[in-house]
């Protein structure tokens, strides 16, 4: 193996001078933020979303649920409830 003494900064600079660099790719978000399209949200507390998630407690061998109420305008959590079970109204 032959050591030539170039680090990545020097290689990048030389490639840039020779115009052999490729354009850098545009990183797209995996999950684009979807805002409600059919409503005009102009201030806080005009529209909320509910996000329900669950987790597992290993030491107690049981699940728990967390329901978060999000304000769509500023994406803050307004309220949340943490319970061992969630009963949906009929």
pLDDT at 18: 92
Structural domain contains residue 53: yes
Give yes or no for a contact between 68 and 77, defined as CB atoms under 8 angstroms apart: yes
pLDDT at 27: 83
Structural domain contains residue 75: yes
pLDDT at 68: 92
Residue carrying the six token digits 């949200």: 41
pLDDT at 23: 85
Give yes or no for a contact between 21 and 15, defined as CB atoms under 8 angstroms apart: yes
Please give the residue range of the domain that contains residue 71.
45-90
User: How many helical (H) and strand (E) elements, i.e. helices and strands, does the chain have?
Assistant: 1, 3
pLDDT at 7: 87
pTM of the model: 0.50
What is the tens place of the pLDDT at every residue in 30-87? 776 666 677 788 899 888 989 899 899 888 888 999 999 999 888 899 999 888 877 7
Structural domain contains residue 8: no
pLDDT at 90: 59
> What is the number of structural domains in the chain?
1
Structural domain contains residue 7: no
pLDDT at 2: 61
Per-residue b or e along 26-36, where b marks 16 or more CB atoms closer than 10 Å to that residue's CB: eeeeeeeeeee
Structural domain contains residue 78: yes
Q: What is the mean pLDDT of residues 3-24?
A: 86
């Amino acid at each position: 193996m032959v050591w030539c003494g170039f680090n990545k900064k020097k290689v990048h600079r030389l490639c840039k001078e020779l115009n052999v660099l490729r354009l850098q790719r545009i990183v797209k978000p995996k999950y684009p933020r979807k805002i409600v399209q059919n409503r005009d949200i102009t201030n806080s507390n005009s529209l909320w979303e509910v996000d329900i998630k669950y987790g597992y407690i290993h030491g107690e061998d049981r699940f728990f649920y967390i329901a978060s109420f999000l304000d769509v305008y500023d994406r803050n959590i307004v309220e949340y409830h943490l319970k061992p079970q969630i009963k949906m109204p009929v």
